[in-house]
């Protein structure tokens, strides 16, 4: 928003929020995406909470980062499994370390965590209740550029995305080859250095109109957004490698 960075890795809700008053940014590519084989976000239950399934989460405050993809998919995942919106409760705990600490102490009975932190929580005795691999359409992150950068330097953005595609192909061909790099760049907590499975990454693509519209519907329903921004203003697939 301040123009101090050209691009960020974020999620589609924050693109909508930044574009409420003027079109400032556009999503240009998936960064991560859940699949039936690979989860990104998981709901962990506190040790000794007695929660073993989705039904056990009815009325239980779940720690989330409010107004983010984590809150959105917590609602959508649980609704898809049969809970009503009234049966779903969330509590704002923005920082992941705080969420994990409260979960470990039992002050939070459940929390939605991204990988690899969910796996770290499991090692501390907080089992996974449910994850986004069952409904992957709700869960992804994106690469987003400022609109003026796209307009003024389209070739630079296009070359960047070509480089990302090359990296994705290399990682997907042999994920574990890059395990030490993830530790070196502090993308994986040290306790998981030997056991964490390096993820695969989505090939060139952007969120669909249906994915965008569902997230926008939710944001407006919750009062996080008031302007119904358009898909075309927020998502730009024209710079992806062909």
What is the pLDDT averaged over residues 107-131? 95
Q: What is the pLDDT of residues 4-38, one digit of tens each?
A: 999 999 999 999 999 999 999 999 999 999 999 99
CB 42 within 8 A of CB 113: yes
> How far, in Å, CA of 236 to CA of 94, rounded?
29
User: Does residue 118 surpass a pLDDT of 90?
Assistant: yes
Q: What is residue 214's predicted lDDT score, i.e. its pLDDT?
A: 98
Maximal C-alpha separation, the chain:
55
Q: What is residue 100's predicted lDDT score, i.e. its pLDDT?
A: 95
Q: What is the pLDDT of residues 157-204, one digit of tens each?
A: 999 999 999 999 999 999 999 988 988 898 888 788 788 889 999 999
* Between residues 179 and 208, the one the model is more confident about: 208
Spatial CB neighbours of 66, under 8 Å, sequence gap ≥ 6: 90, 92, 94
pTM over 0.75? The answer is: yes
Residue with tokens 């070196």: 184
The number of beta carbons lying within 10 Å of the beta carbon of residue 135 is: 18
User: Does residue 106 surpass a pLDDT of 90?
Assistant: yes
Q: What is residue 242's predicted lDDT score, i.e. its pLDDT?
A: 85
CB 76 within 8 A of CB 135: yes
What is the pLDDT averaged over residues 57-86? 96
CB 32 within 8 A of CB 56: no
Q: What is residue 189's predicted lDDT score, i.e. its pLDDT?
A: 80
What are the residue ranges of helices labelled H in 12-146?
A: 12-18, 69-80, 96-105, 117-123
SS3 82: coil
Q: What is residue 150's predicted lDDT score, i.e. its pLDDT?
A: 98
Angle between helix axes 209-221 and 69-80 (nearest 10 degrees) is: 100
């Amino acid at each position: 928003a301040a123009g101090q960075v050209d691009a960020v890795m974020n999620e589609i809700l924050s693109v909508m929020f930044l574009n409420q008053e003027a079109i400032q940014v556009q999503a240009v590519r998936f960064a991560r995406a859940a699949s039936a084989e690979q989860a990104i976000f998981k709901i962990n239950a506190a040790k000794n909470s007695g929660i073993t399934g989705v039904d056990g989460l009815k009325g239980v405050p779940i720690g989330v980062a409010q107004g983010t993809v984590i809150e959105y998919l917590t609602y959508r995942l649980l609704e898809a499994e049969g809970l009503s919106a009234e049966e779903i409760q969330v509590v704002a705990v923005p920082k992941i370390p705080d969420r994990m600490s409260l979960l470990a102490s039992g002050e939070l009975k459940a929390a939605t965590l991204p990988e690899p932190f969910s796996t770290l929580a499991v090692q501390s005795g907080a089992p996974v209740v449910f994850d986004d691999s069952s409904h992957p359409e709700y869960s992804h992150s994106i690469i987003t550029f400022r609109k003026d950068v796209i307009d003024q330097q389209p070739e630079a953005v296009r070359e960047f995305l070509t480089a990302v595609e090359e990296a994705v192909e290399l990682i997907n061909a042999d994920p574990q080859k890059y395990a030490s790099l993830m530790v070196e760049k502090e993308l994986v907590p040290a306790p998981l250095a030997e056991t964490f499975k390096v993820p695969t990454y989505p090939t060139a693509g952007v969120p669909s109109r249906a994915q965008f519209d569902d997230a926008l519907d939710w944001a407006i329903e919750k009062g996080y957004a008031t302007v119904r921004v358009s898909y075309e203003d927020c998502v730009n697939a024209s710079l992806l490698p062909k």
